[in-house]
Amino acid sequence: MRLRFGTDGVRGDTRTVLSAQAVAALGRAAAEILGDNAFAIGRDTRVSGAALVGAMHAGVAAAGGSSVDLGIITTPGVARWCCDHQVGGAVVSASHNPWHDNGVKFFAAGGSKLTETSQQEIQRRFDRYLTAGDTSRGLAEECQKSVIDRHSQALSNHCQALIGSIDGRTFAGLKIVIDLANGAATTIAKRVFAALDADLTVIHDSPDGYNINAGCGSTDLKSLQVAVVENSADVGLAFDGDADRVLAVDANGKLVDGDGIIAICALDRHQRAMLRANTVVVTTMTNLGFRLAMDAAGIKVVETEVGDRYVLETLNANGLELGGEQSGHVIFRDLATTGDGLLTAVQLIGVMVRRSSSLAALASNAMTALPQVLTNVAVPKLLSQNETVALRQLCAPLVDAAGARLAGKGRVLIRPSGTEPLIRVMVEAETMTEAQMEADALAEAVKLFAEGSLAASNQRSELAD
């Protein structure tokens, strides 16, 4: 199986696909395209992280460059460093995936996501270097001569930027529970919330290399919901492994997802005449209830494909400032170059403080979500472009029929994940029973596709290889 760029970098199982040799080849290719001078590299807490970071440094050295090691740090922390120092960079992380997966996300000089052209050129060179087996020169000891440690400085700079983003307000008097997913947020989140005077309870902050995202964080809110209620907290916050996204729960343990967070922040900015062009950017996965709420408030909604990179591209292209995804990727473009879970958390609680309101009240006033069912159908690998087209052709009549039954009072979306070997089936309807029924029927059709045409496609690929 070959490594390919998805919607957020390169990702794979370290036991079978993502080897140190592959990462060294990737690092060499990236440094040649993004700039090999002081190339910044950070990572999350996975057991494979240190070795893969070493390979990435070696790849940069193979390109004739030097690199800066930012240690264990959030993905947005690396982006901020790249912005502040106008250098390219990489994060060795697989975000919300389990411990055995890892990956590499890249930033261009200035902390921006890569363009399609840059990705394609890195992919082309990576394939060539990996095939040739010439991925580095001066591995290990020689490589270390060109690596500079800036872990403490990077954390301090990012921490100060987060604290300063709410203009001197504090969280004094608020009881907050944070779930750090045993990931990269463990190096910085406590410092941020302590500096803002929160009454803080911290869970899942003891990474061992294997427990990242395991029964915790933004992929599993159960323990956070229990902790919020047991501690009579005002709000709970759950981050993913690299802390570029966050989900919240109110004092009753009820989820406030990315849609709710964006709605709260959009309305707050709108009411203060601080929402650029009175517009917010979201993806096709965003709940219909969000669109109805924004329309009622007189806020324009621009829709993109799923993926925070597409949201960011639209924000940049149109000079807009606020957007994000239901999954908790939220971008405040006037405050950062990319989505940042900690920044989002600080901004959300900042609204609570400014309006002297509970999260539950803010969420209920911001929007009413339609019942939504999201079903994931496992497939053997990430879908290629041709396989994605075939999936859409197969499902188009089924989606049209389901849409007709919903009679304009719901939505249907079927799409392959860009980061995991999954096909996502999403249905919104007036009732949960109706949404579940439609989602189950569509999921069965997708399973047939995965077992049939996708299997045939895999056989053709194996023969071609």
* Cα distances (angstroms) measured from residue 434 to each of 56, 166, 368, 447: 49, 42, 18, 20
Q: How far apart are CA 17 and CA 3, in angstroms?
A: 7
Scanning 279-333, the segments in alpha helix (DSSP H) are 288-297, 308-318
Q: Are 82 and 109 in contact (CB under 8 A)?
A: yes
Q: How far apart are CA 87 and CA 332, in angstroms?
A: 21
Backbone angles phi, psi at 239, to 5 degrees: -105, 165
Q: How far apart are CA 237 and CA 219, in angstroms?
A: 12
Q: Which two tokens stand for residue 219?
A: 């992929």
Catalytic residue selected from 19, 67, 93, 95: 95
Q: How far apart are CA 327 and CA 324, in angstroms?
A: 8
Strand 330-332 to 322-324 pairing:
antiparallel
Q: Catalytic annotation on 95?
A: yes
Q: Are 47 and 210 in contact (CB under 8 A)?
A: yes
Scanning 173-307, the segments in alpha helix (DSSP H) are 189-195, 222-230, 258-271, 288-297
The burial class, CB within 10 Å (0-12 / 13-18 / 19+), for 148 is exposed
Strand 9-13 to 101-107 pairing:
antiparallel
Question: What single-letter DSSP state applies at residue 219?
Answer: G
Partner residues linked to 39 by β-bridges: 67
Q: How far is CA 196 from the centre of its chain?
A: 25
Active site residues: 95
